[in-house]
């Protein structure tokens, strides 16, 4: 195995890349290369094949927004572009340092003060479907909430298709535990040869109670286990949230709403533990602002967007706890 410096990573700063041939499927210097990462497809970066165009309402602003997800060159990452803003920098790259607010959603912003809100559900779809590079054009301040889950975004990306690109995909391999704790809330990343997501929540509400989920997170697992799980909230909090400028677009069509000991949505829950599964979905989207998929285990307890972003920033601040890894054979032979 060879190591080289490749200068400045688009999101993570100066890095060293460990290159492993894509044919590896067993232990390589103590690291088990999962079969999923050993394929040529997953070893290379991908973008969308064609534009994906859709529209919807922002859950917090209530604004109707039109969106176009377009192909992007290699090493672009995910970049949001506010097409309604023309007099200043309207490009907002999804990056760890770009996250500026985390109250009931993840908000990213640039140096000009331009922001894009509620990106996490689309980011989770990008992460698990293997979209490394995309330009997301939108004509408003917030991504549409759709039905409150990632499933509409998965369907939209499926319709657009994906295109393999001629550059190695970079994975973030966790080498040592990283944890952030805030009272009874916590989030951590641990070494693992695959991406795993575990989450636990506890609510006083009898509708939720204590729930936990623990999954090896592949594209198939995301599609079948998490993608359709919706965001949720409590009816008694709605007026207070709206007074704060939040939840103005929220409805029974895009969120599970709880009142006392019952679900207000006529269709009920999609899964008995839909609540904790949605929290796991959120975490996947929040982690993808790192700009690369993770080889490691995420564990969250009572965590939300704020703790998730604290974990992201803790990871970036501890370069000895992780490294960038590629599995492209042509790069491994070239260095």
Give 42-90 pLDDT, tens digit per residue.
899 999 999 999 999 998 788 999 999 999 999 999 999 999 999 999 9
* Three-state DSSP state, 222: helix
* Three-state DSSP state, 221: helix
Q: Backbone dihedral region of 191: left (phi > 0), alpha (psi from -120 to 50 degrees) or beta? A: beta
Q: How many CA atoms lie within 13 A of 137 on its CB side?
A: 11
Q: Does pLDDT of 330 surpass 60?
A: no
Min mean pLDDT across 17-31, 173-187, 320-334 is at: 17-31
For residue 251, give both structure tokens: 């409805």
Q: Which fold has domain 44-171?
A: Ribosomal Protein S5; domain 2 (3.30.230)
Nearest C-alpha neighbor of 133 from the set 194, 13, 263, 44: 44
Domain layout of the chain by residue ranges: 44-171
Return d(Cα 306, Cα 84) in angstroms, integer.
28
- Binned at pLDDT 50, 70 and 90, residue 329 comes out as low
Q: Which of 37, 60, 278, 305 is catalytic?
A: 305
* 3-class SS shares of the chain: helix, strand, coil, % to 5: 25, 35, 40
Return d(Cα 310, Cα 328) in angstroms, integer.
31
* Chain segment 147-185, per-residue pLDDT in tens: 999 999 999 999 999 999 999 999 999 999 999 999 999
236 catalytic? Reply is no
Instruction: State residue 174's pLDDT score.
Output: 98
Nearest C-alpha neighbor of 92 from the set 141, 130, 126, 125: 141
- Binned at pLDDT 50, 70 and 90, residue 246 comes out as low
Averaged confidence pLDDT in the chain:
87
For 115, the enclosing helix (H) or strand (E) is: strand 115-117
């Amino acid at each position: 195995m060879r190591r080289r410096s490749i200068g400045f990573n688009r999101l993570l700063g100066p890095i060293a890349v460990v290159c492993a041939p894509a044919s590896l499927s067993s232990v390589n210097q103590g690291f088990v290369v999962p079969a999923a990462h050993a394929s040529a497809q997953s070893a290379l970066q991908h973008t969308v094949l064609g534009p994906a165009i859709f529209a919807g309402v922002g859950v917090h602003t209530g604004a109707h927004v039109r969106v176009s997800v377009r192909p992007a060159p290699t090493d672009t990452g995910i970049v949001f572009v506010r097409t309604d803003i023309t007099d200043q920098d309207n490009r907002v790259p999804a990056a760890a340092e770009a996250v500026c607010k985390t109250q009931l959603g993840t908000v990213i912003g640039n140096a000009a003060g331009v922001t894009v809100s509620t990106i996490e559900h689309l980011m989770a779809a990008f992460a698990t479907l293997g979209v490394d590079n995309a330009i997301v054009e939108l004509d408003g301040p917030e991504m549409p909430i759709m039905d409150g889950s990632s499933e509409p975004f998965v369907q939209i990306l499926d319709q657009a298709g994906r295109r393999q690109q001629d550059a190695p995909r970079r994975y973030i391999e966790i080498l040592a535990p990283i944890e952030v704790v805030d009272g009874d809330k916590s989030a951590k990343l641990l070494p693992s040869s695959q991406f795993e997501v575990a989450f636990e929540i506890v609510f006083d509400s009898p509708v939720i109670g204590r729930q936990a989920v623990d999954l090896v997170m592949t594209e198939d697992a995301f599609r079948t286990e998490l993608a359709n799980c919706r965001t949720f909230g409590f009816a008694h909090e709605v007026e207070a949230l709206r007074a704060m400028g939040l939840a103005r677009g929220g409805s029974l069509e895009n969120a599970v709403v709880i009142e006392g000991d019952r679900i207000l949505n006529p269709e009920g829950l999609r899964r008995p533990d839909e609540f904790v599964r949605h929290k796991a979905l959120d975490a996947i989207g929040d982690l993808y602002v790192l700009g690369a998929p993770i080889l490691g285990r995420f564990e969250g307890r009572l965590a939300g967007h704020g703790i998730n972003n604290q974990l992201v920033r803790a990871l970036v601040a501890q370069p000895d706890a992780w490294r960038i890894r590629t599995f492209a054979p042509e790069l491994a032979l070239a260095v």
